[in-house]
Structure 1
Amino acid sequence: MTRLNQITHRLKAEQIDALLIFDANNITYLSGFTGHAATALVLAGQAYLLTDYRYFEQAKDQCSSFNVVCRDRVNQSLAALIQALLEKHAVNKLGFEANHISHGVWVDMMQNWPQVSCLPTVRWIEDLRYIKDQGELQSMQLAANIADQALGELLTRIQPGITERELAIELEHQMALLGSEQPSFSTIMLAAERSALPHGVPGDKALQNGDLLLIDFGAVINGYHSDMTRTFVLGEADAKQKEIYQTVYNAQQAAMDAFNHEVSGEMLYQQAQKVLNQSQYAQYQGEGLGHGVGMDLHEFPFIGQGCELTIKKHCVVTIEPGIYIPGWGGVRIEDDVYLTDNGLQSLTQFPRELIEL
């Protein structure tokens, strides 16, 4: 069953006439359209992609399963165009993406479509995106390979005196040279005590011997993200750095060892937390353990306390325990993994053991 057919099947099952889709990645997932300024309307028998002159030809090329409609932005509002289609197909019950709608669009819906019952839907398409097909896994593997290679190249350029910002720029440059469409997100490159900032911004801090260096980054291929963190020491690591690194490593390994086809996100979190709680640094552990990744950097599920969802085959998630001590520094190790029939597979392959630069 195609992705689009799965949505039309759910419409029939829930007795909803149509689904209005706003999220760009959800539209891409269903239609193949990779441009901007688009809205999709899916009915039981057909689907529409609404855009304007800037993307009309692109949409026609990419969306063979959709009727592509070019809106005249000067003379027709989006709400008016949707209303015309709703009337054409006698839509009485309209589902819409509750998590991807602005207040302005909501007001338009309420004012312009009084004859339509608008029903909020949550995660209809995200639930399909949760499990990756082979094409998606291949794209994510290519993105992870690029990140692995770029990091290897970066390590040859790290020396005392270079700044966080210079290294972040160089890492993103290396990924671009290797074919990444863009960075997965703004690279996190933090040295010394600044590595205790889980999502800090690279600055003009110059590296010195003995510094921790935390690098969190990723590449993008065909719209699919990778996400990896490694922590290094410039020069020889001291006893505390080694101890904390090994604790985080052991926590990540405990979660990875717990993967099976019946494990929940909370169970994975508990395995990592057990290791961290047994250390003297338990109070400095990060909240949660990881998240889904794919077309969005952060996708369902979010692995931590209360995540009762079973991690299914081919759901790609990050496993990223960390310890962050203000005024001293932090250590995080993160990999992208998924279950197969033969066990756990890691997309990210860069060595996880502590490397002294």
Structure 2
Amino acid sequence: MAAHDFARITTIPHAPFSKIEYQERVERARHLMKEHAFDALLVTSEHNFRYFVDDSSTTPIQTTRPRFLLIPSSGDAVAIVPTGVDEFFRETTWIRNFRTWPGPSPKDEGVSELATVLNELLPQNARIGTELGAESRLGMPAGDFLRVRNAIRPRIFADASDPIFTPLRMIKSPSEIDRIRTVCGIVSEAFDNLSKKLRLGMTEREVCRLFELECFVRGVDKTPKIASVSGRGGYTRPYGVPTDKVLSDGDLLFIDAGCLFNFYWSDFNRNFCFGAPDPHTKDAYQAVWDATEVGIAAIKPGVPICDVWAAMSDLLDGSTNRGRRSTIGRMGHSMGLWMPELPSVQPDDRTILKPGMIINVEPSTIYPSYFDNSPKLMLHEEIVLVTETGAQLLTSRASRTIQLVTNEST
């Protein structure tokens, strides 16, 4: 790499969360623990662990040696981690109390030590909250969890996802919002700069690799989810890995970008038309763009999120749309340390919008192909912050018309 290439690379500093912010997160958790009659909280999943502990490591702890955090109803939190990890945490986090085991030890990867700590520190009738509910995952093998459960009886585990983890993480702090705003801004710039560099005859992989480069040189940390599909007159699904398919006249390319900055996500897409769009694709894009506008306008504090779904659904099912709303199941979600997070923009989710929530507005429509009348999908996504008065856009709004790719010089 030439010296001038290094000069193009932007590295954005990671401003650390304050110790006070972590203390406030623990205190809010304890308030909810008291409200829902929990004696302790056992944190095991990667994203909940990062929420409470400033774990800046990039090791995928979900699939290697586990890490546990015990938050009792009072007193100090205790990290139960493999030997060596405690030294890293002493230097980089606010945690000061540790219990360790020598690992890796696949036959007993923290099971005995965790059970010992729970038996020593908690009363026999303790009710311990952990990740057992909707859209949650334990950060340990299921068999190991059952072994711990049996070893600590009559103490019991109960779901803390719905009553504690989800409501805690649903409202983002100003520092969390700054991270999400940063990554959304970077990816927006990358998307905005991409179309002028594309040409007919490129492959899906070439386009997506170029897009990732645009993201990296602007300061994203990782690009773990770059989904892409394409097709003549439209695409049929929102999921796909970019292939060596050559993009030619009439193809519509969908890129969905999940990128990270300091472990916080962006997740939104853009559509690119190679050559002039056909009438059906053009109309579908406009319908979904309009539905996005309606969805953003519907976001206000105090409004149930199902009303946002209804506003977009009404427009997409209206007479001005050649197609109909899709049956994907929802038209948006939240995000933060993970993507996606609850709540969901769907008709049966009555979560009340509150300032500090992040909402991905994601309407989609099914429309008939101009070429053979087969069903095609058009999807669009923007990210907004719920404020005291409405919604603040964190992504740069997609163009009102589809971005065109030609081989003409600019």
**TM-score normalized with structure 2 length:** 0.81
2:229 and 2:194 map into 1 onto residues whose CA distance is 12
1:271 aligns with 2:293: no
Q: Please tell me whether residue 26 in structure 1 is matched to residue 68 in structure 2.
A: no
Provide the rounded CA distance (Å) in 2 between the counterparts of 1:169 and 1:246: 28
- Worse-superposed segment, 34-43 or 217-226: 34-43
**Is the 8 Å Cα contact of residues 326 and 377 (structure 2) preserved in structure 1?**
no
Which of 77, 82, 85 is 1:47 aligned to? 77
| Counterpart among 307, 314, 334 of residue 381 in structure 2 | 334
Paired residue total? 357
User: How much does 1:238 deviate?
Assistant: 2.7
2:127 counterpart of 1:87: no
> What is the Cα deviation at residue 283 of structure 1?
6.0
Q: Quote the residue 2:242 is aligned against.
A: 202
CA distance in 2, matches of 1:306, 1:236: 39
Are 2:295 and 1:255 aligned? yes
Listed as ranges, the matches of 1:99-248 within 5 Å are 99-101=136-138, 102-123=141-162, 124-192=164-232, 195-248=235-288
Choose 338-347 or 10-19, whichever is displaced more: 10-19
Structure 1 residues 90, 197: closer, same or farther in 2, change over 3 A?
closer
Aligned sequence identity (%):
22
Distance of aligned partners of 1:116 and 1:213 in 2 relative to their CA distance in 1, 3 Å threshold: same
100, 110, 128: which one aligns with 1:78: 110
**Which residue is equivalent to 2:336?**
294
In structure 1, runs of 5+ residues without a counterpart are: none
Aligned to 2:33: 11
Contact kept? 1:266, 1:306, Cα under 8 Å = yes
Match of 2:15 in 1: none
Q: Quote the Cα distance in structure 2 between the aligned partners of 1:257 and 1:72.
A: 54
Equivalent pair of 1:292/1:318 in contact (CA under 8 Å): yes
What is the CA–CA distance in structure 1 between the aligned matches of 2:157 and 2:179, rounded to whole Å? 36
CA distance 1:105–1:241, change in 2 (3 Å) = same
| Dislocated runs of 4+, deviation >6 Å | none
2:269 is paired with a residue whose SS is strand
SS at 2:281 equivalent: helix
Matched, 1:349 2:396: yes
Moved more, 65-74 or 138-147: 65-74
Per the alignment, residue 61 of structure 1 pairs with: 91
Kept in 2: contact 1:339–1:345 (CA 8 A): yes
Displacement of 1:308 after TM fit? 0.7
Question: Which whole-Å deviations, capped at 9, do the CAs of 1:171-198 have from their partners, x for residues lacking one?
Answer: 1222122221111513324343562212
What residue is the counterpart of 2:19 in the other structure? none
Distance 1:113 1:71 in 2: 18
Task: Give the letter aligned to residue 311 of structure 1.
Answer: L
TM-score normalized with structure 1 length:
0.92
Report if the CA contact (8 A) 1:286-1:321 is conserved.
no
Read off the aligned partner of 1:100 and give its amino acid letter.
R
Aligned CA distance change for structure 1 residues 81 and 258 (closer, same or farther; 3 Å): same
Residue matched to 1:38: 67
Check conservation: 2:234, 2:251, Cα contact below 8 A.
no
Task: Give the direction of change, closer, same or farther, for the CA distance of 1:334–1:111 in structure 2 (3 Å limit).
Answer: same
User: Using a 3 Å threshold, how does the CA distance of structure 1 residues 232 and 77 change in structure 2: closer, same or farther?
Assistant: closer
Distance 2:248 2:302 in 1: 46
Structure 2 CA distance, aligned partners of 1:2 and 1:90?
Answer: 23
